[in-house]
Amino acid sequence: MNVVVIGGGIVGLASAYELAERGADVTVCEKGSIGSGSTERAAGGIRAQFSTPINVELSRESMRVWDEFDERFGTEIDYRKNGYLFLARSEETAAAFEDTVAMQNDCGVPSEILDPEDAQEHCPGIDADKFVAATYSPTDGFADPHLALQAYSQAAAEAGADVRTKTPVVDVLRDDSGGEPRVIGVETPDERLEADAVVNAAGPWAREAAAMADVVLPITPKRRQIAIAEPETQVPETDPLTIDLDQGSYFRPERNGDALVGGHFAETDPARDPDGYTRSMDFEWAIDALEAAADWTSYFGPESAIKRGWAGLYAVTPDDNAIVEETIPGFITAAGFSGHGFQHAPALGQLVAELALEGEPSLLDIESLSSTRFDQDDGDGAAAERTERNVV
């Protein structure tokens, strides 16, 4: 079976690896360099603390791979299970913890609700007086996206996949002669590639890739930023990835006492054009991020310094959940992860391979990730009810 994967980020390469391992003849078409879209600019979070069962299940299946990644791929990815700590300022957010933690526990996730004072045992630097409740799971953590991406790229190539960089897809080919349209390949600037299946793993470009196949997908690029800071007080390397959920501010430890800091604050660049957004960090945003973190932790005082930073793109759907499906015959969509693509890539690769080779998924029931859940108006960016916060 011939399969073309559009996109050389971690979802595309995990899909290529799983397909090639199962005997498919795979070609990956990446318009730039490997990971040059979203993967290389990700925060690297890996968590099972989600508010929807399908995302919890995607996390659990992916964690089975992350847990044995070093052995399986022969690459150390700096995977640290420090946990995730979510903090609630409002009683409304705290009340929502009850249902989400109960659901997570039912799915086998060892998350728990904590008093703010107990949360300090996991992250001593937080100001407990700012919060009314917290949740924590010790099996969450974070890894290095660059190292994981390179491992998948090498593994896909070793399994027989042809990974091509500087190879944009300029058209998706359809055969409409049989009544029901079917995708039969792609065009690149150099050649036509015939395929039994085409995988749209183009991330922030997924909407454009779908449009080439005359398919409308409600996926919009959204710019997000990250700063690496030298805090006034060093952040212990054992601290979890810690999030002030109501304010959208977060940090996690880097090495040598530094911290990765982020937050969902106002963006001057909405990044509707994924080719034209500003990739450098806004200094004003970084100041806001540090000031926000300083409000609820003791680490980020006035002597903190911004060392570097960058901006990347989320590929966002109206409800912040992914689209994973065979959208039309021969055209498989794995996109719109709203910031969750890196951590869910191992499970997504398996699901894509099952859709392409078996015609239906067996790893998980992904009916809730069908694009049919959206109205047609959502293709123009209309907001549906959001079921998942697109935090890291």
Q: What is the pLDDT of residue 382?
A: 41
What is the token pair recorded at 239?
A: 């601290």
Domain residues for the domain of 288 are: 84-138+221-316
Q: What is the pLDDT of residue 269?
A: 54
Q: What is the pLDDT of residue 239?
A: 98
- Helix (H) or strand (E) holding 86, with range, is strand 84-88
Kindly report which listed range (67-71, 197-201, 229-233, 378-382) carries the lowest average pLDDT score: 378-382
For residues 115 and 150, membership in a common domain is answered with no
pLDDT at 161 exceeding the cut of 90: yes
**What is the arithmetic mean of pLDDT over 318-339?**
97
Q: What is the pLDDT of residue 53?
A: 97
pLDDT at 56 exceeding the cut of 90: yes
Q: What is the pLDDT of residue 380?
A: 47
pTM of the predicted model as reported, rounded to 2 decimal places: 0.94
Q: What is the pLDDT of residue 387?
A: 52
Supply φ then ψ for residue 288, to 5 degrees: -60, -40
For residues 289 and 234, membership in a common domain is answered with yes
pLDDT at 147 exceeding the cut of 70: yes
Residue 263, judged by CB atoms within 10 A of its CB (0-12, 13-18, 19+), counts as: buried
The span from the CA of 392 to the CA of 389, in Å, is 9
**What is the arithmetic mean of pLDDT over 215-230?**
95
Assess if residue 248 is contained within a domain: yes
SS (H, E, C) 295-314: HHECCCCCCCEEEEEEEEEE
Q: What is the pLDDT of residue 378?
A: 52
Q: What is the total count of domains within the chain? A: 2
Assess if residue 327 is contained within a domain: yes
| Percent of the chain with pLDDT strictly greater than 70 | 94
pLDDT in tens, 73-132: 999 999 999 999 999 999 999 999 999 999 999 999 999 999 999 999 999 999 999 999
Assess if residue 73 is contained within a domain: no
For residues 245 and 201, membership in a common domain is answered with no
Assess if residue 59 is contained within a domain: no
